[in-house]
Structure 1
């Protein structure tokens, strides 16, 4: 499986019989391996064949000991972690996606039958699964022992996965060959690369077919009733509609319409026809959601203690989208996550993901000296509680009180100076680390083992993941997962598609909410102010607000690079810099023991550049493997590489 050619021509047909939980794909006996002759005989066998595709979905958070998947302007690592993929992207070494173990795209580990989370990466698995989907579609007529419902379920999953794996590749590499049939080892391998939009048309057709074939909820089907309560990971109509819309929105985005270029002059220039298709698909989905016809809804953002993520009431919380705690390693997602893959083991989150977000000073957080830091330029996107961005003259932002009256998600996600980091008893020699020293020259500002930016984040790993509170120990049962799509993302993509068509008051043909109402639905959930009238009146400013809302709502979830890319902003200032906030602490340590850290007064609050990413036009697409583009002339390399 060394290159695309071998993968597309020689994928094996081995799979497990049985329709168990999606967590049990590979819990099979040796005798459950069956031959191609009976692979497609009945529903049970055919579903086993498809289950291997589910098994291939990469877990972007836990594909190696130390992971890196936020490659936009959102994150920077401490200096000793310069080996990770994020830093290679910062210095323009996009080739590293092929040989860096911290890259979830590819790094020499690819085993579709493996139960090891380290063995699942995008590039090789995509081509393998595309071939499997084509094999399944071409053998549907062999499934003679199946009900009409079972046949629809099989066919819908195959169409979805053929579209999904192509779409995931297209985001990183642009238009490729769209493989929609089983390739023969004896035929000439000369398929040309298609344009991005040509690929999107084919993917859209597959997602549409999947949406028409699949149920909203497998539990409500005769087939799915056999595994009722264990169908959460199965592809359904909502996921297919979500990706149908996303596929068309990406196809209509400025990069895909205008081609790679620098200067940023085309950043608001969308293809309105594709955006209309996107808005209609998202609208179809949201109408079902708001009509109460689905199992999905926005998670609650009600907290008794926002800093410790202690929720109010019994509703599933915003935090539980990203991690669960004290629930026997329950996979997160709340009721908001629309598409995700499997979790491969119970305690995988602690090795080493949960230990890469906090300070390593005095070993306060165990394990490797690797720390994800939110950049100050990105933290700036968290505006004020009144809904205005920090740089709006009416926002009320005061640099003497920079952490006061901010968007509620700021307090959920971001750790600031004076935050109570450790709750439990500490050794006397570590007591000075109980409250974060993130001011300039503070106890946690060493770029080697502290913060380079003046912040930490706890969106995915609570601050109690330290050697005293021990939240990453087995007994706490923390499980994390990075979703591929959740409901709030759909609202924001709908708002963007509608705005690109006609502005803030635009709706789709399938759903009555305007773009403005859609974005405000997300702000209402968290208690932030609605989009101000001054931004609604100017469509470019309104689109900027949608983009800022995406930055905040989807912060550090792995989407930022692709957003900047498709908006033609990857090369442009201020999106090409990573900064820190420098300031002097005025309050005493005792003050923080008695007061809320958000109310602290500071002096000399300023922003300083840590690095500038010197990207050119070629950086809008990743380079393809030399071994693959050398196969035949029509498989050409991306420009500039």
Structure 2
């Protein structure tokens, strides 16, 4: 297989994000393996740097796909950039095949390189006589557990894109080896990831990390991005959620093909996922308090480091890159490029602050004043006409300050991205803030639990409690019965729709929606209709809101529910079976 042979000559892909001091940049390709895993290195300095290199393979989602967020290729936004080379446009208009899938999302080789690197670490770390202790054992065993976590995470990222993939165990291939490996079944891959998470969870550090202490090998600042017991438990739960979802559990795109999912449906898979999420929710730190909780302020989740909602993240350093790429145009000294244009579809999904849908005649929605009295998460995710930003009222009507038209890249929908940005409503310029990329956060655990429990047991009180806790934190009013706008006595189908909506409202641009509409097997409905925005025309003091179509998207079902195995892999490996339709 091409990707194995191409990486034989390198010991590791260990380059970190440029300028991010928290990931070690270590030129291990310049030294031998015996120098990295040195039997005389009681501090394990080089080995630890090698492990940090494996962490750098974990993706940062900011502008990850050709400068765009991955969810721009779903129904929550479009890219403001033009031209067919834009990655999100290619993905959302079905303009790819097995050899033109954009490299930024065709991550087969990337993650197999990570698997090789973690295998190198796992196979060699035992020779390093690390003296530092964690609990009662050498820190090197914590490091090995971290490497196994990363390997399991890389496999998860592969199977949710491709279905079953080759499982390598601890094998590190050399040039003389036969690398014509077949794909393992989807079931085999799920069982492997789950078993790895179970095996390592109690060796990984507890969360939260202890404070800086010379006698302790972990510190909050240096180690907060590293895998913990909670991260392993969350990965297990996420894998089980995907395995229970319609795409793989009863909706296999090739019903008798074990590579593309299960060959039969089993409701018990939902119960297993619910139990795994519940375990994370009940996890306690050594001090006795619950390890994770919802942060009080939704907007601060992405700005406040080490907050109790974060379970696993990719460090991104401090800066203003998100604002520079996505901020509104039209400001002097605080230039934005407006790369991300949220859709009207997303904006319409947000209810009123009383929790009722804008289509509900009792909600209080005013189509002539459409942004007043809405779910606060709307203003935390989207900048709309009239919103406060940089000490000004945003103008996205035609010819307005942030919608000047002409050739300047600007919003195509009348909306700009707000999420992930600093609190710049009342400042004149941007300033540096954390740009960490959160991969697992507690709200995902809560909503994953609600979804799995509803599917396995129906809309129980626990399901309601999980969903209302998210809505309460969002700032929605409690209302009658403290249901936060939810309907009492919902059926299982109604609750399913409510949970799916809540996921959309909670996780825009976090690489959730893109995969959710696939695992729910609704992408063919969602994506085979045009994306919409607004053309706002100002006449005197009156604003006229005119719906417009901004992009025709396409989803070829069933083949697009899974990515094609890369063309070169299939051509060079007679045992590598392609996914259906490709």
Range of TM-score over shorter length: 0.7 to 0.9
2:533 counterpart residue number: 580
**CA gap 1:160/1:223 in 2 versus in 1, 3 angstroms:** farther
| 28-37 or 189-198, which deviates more | 28-37
- Give runs of aligned pairs for residues 522-541 of structure 1, distance below 5 A: 522-529=470-477, 530=483, 532=485, 534=487, 536-541=489-494
SS at match of 2:210: helix
CA distance in 2, matches of 1:163, 1:336: 22
SS at match of 2:547: strand
**CA gap 1:537/1:220 in 2 versus in 1, 3 angstroms:** same
| 208-217 or 543-552, which deviates more | 208-217
State TM-score, norm by structure 1. Answer: 0.76
1:436 counterpart residue number: 394
CA distance in 2, matches of 1:82, 1:370: 18
2:466 aligned with 1:518, yes or no? yes
2:201 aligned with 1:228, yes or no? no
**CA gap 1:404/1:320 in 2 versus in 1, 3 angstroms:** closer
2:309 aligned with 1:336, yes or no? yes
1:614 counterpart residue number: 554
1:190 alignment partner, one of 171, 175, 180: 180
CA distance in 1, matches of 2:434, 2:289: 29
CA distance in 1, matches of 2:66, 2:562: 27
Tell me how far 1:4 sits from its aligned partner: 1.8
Q: Is the 8 A contact 2:152 2:193 kept in 1?
A: yes
CA RMSD of aligned residues (A): 3.6
Tell me how far 1:37 sits from its aligned partner: 6.7
State TM-score, norm by structure 2. Answer: 0.83
| 75-84 or 215-224, which deviates more | 215-224
- Give runs of aligned pairs for residues 497-512 of structure 1, distance below 5 A: 497-505=452-460
- Give runs of aligned pairs for residues 369-408 of structure 1, distance below 5 A: 371-408=339-376
SS at match of 1:484: strand
1:150 counterpart residue number: 139
Tell me how far 1:298 sits from its aligned partner: 2.1
1:265 counterpart residue number: none
| 225-234 or 439-448, which deviates more | 439-448
SS at match of 2:555: coil
CA distance in 1, matches of 2:265, 2:401: 47
Cα shift readout 1:115-143 (whole Å, capped 9, x = no counterpart) = xxxxxxx4433112212222333346535
CA distance in 2, matches of 1:362, 1:242: 42
CA distance in 2, matches of 1:380, 1:224: 54
SS at match of 1:483: strand
Q: Is the 8 A contact 1:333 1:483 kept in 2?
A: no
Tell me how far 1:489 sits from its aligned partner: 1.3
For this pair of structures, how many residues does the alignment match? 549
| 43-52 or 62-71, which deviates more | 62-71
**CA gap 1:141/1:356 in 2 versus in 1, 3 angstroms:** closer
Tell me how far 1:65 sits from its aligned partner: 8.4
2:518 alignment partner, one of 565, 571, 590: 565
SS at match of 1:154: helix
2:324 aligned with 1:355, yes or no? yes
2:236 counterpart residue number: 244
CA distance in 2, matches of 1:49, 1:573: 43
- Give runs of aligned pairs for residues 547-558 of structure 1, distance below 5 A: 547-558=500-511
SS at match of 1:499: helix
CA distance in 1, matches of 2:514, 2:277: 22
Tell me how far 1:47 sits from its aligned partner: 3.0
Q: Is the 8 A contact 1:98 1:105 kept in 2?
A: no
Tell me how far 1:459 sits from its aligned partner: 1.3
**CA gap 1:38/1:73 in 2 versus in 1, 3 angstroms:** closer
In structure 2, list runs of 5 or more residues that go unmatched. Answer: 256-263, 478-482
CA distance in 2, matches of 1:228, 1:346: 19
CA distance in 1, matches of 2:357, 2:284: 30
2:289 counterpart residue number: 293
Q: Is the 8 A contact 2:69 2:509 kept in 1?
A: no
Tell me how far 1:3 sits from its aligned partner: 3.3
Tell me how far 1:283 sits from its aligned partner: 0.7
1:455 counterpart residue number: 415
2:85 aligned with 1:83, yes or no? yes
Q: Is the 8 A contact 2:68 2:340 kept in 1?
A: no
- Give runs of aligned pairs for residues 14-163 of structure 1, distance below 5 A: 23-26=21-24, 33=31, 35-36=33-34, 39=37, 41=39, 44-45=44-45, 46-61=47-62, 66-70=67-71, 71-78=73-80, 80=82, 83-95=85-97, 100=102, 104-105=104-105, 122-139=107-124, 141-143=126-128, 148-163=137-152
CA distance in 2, matches of 1:520, 1:247: 24
Q: Is the 8 A contact 1:156 1:214 kept in 2?
A: yes
**CA gap 1:216/1:575 in 2 versus in 1, 3 angstroms:** farther
Q: Is the 8 A contact 1:193 1:635 kept in 2?
A: yes
Tell me how far 1:557 sits from its aligned partner: 1.6
In structure 1, list runs of 5 or more residues that go unmatched. Answer: 17-21, 107-121, 263-268, 302-317, 325-331, 424-433, 507-513, 589-600
- Give runs of aligned pairs for residues 306-317 of structure 1, distance below 5 A: none
Tell me how far 1:219 sits from its aligned partner: 2.4
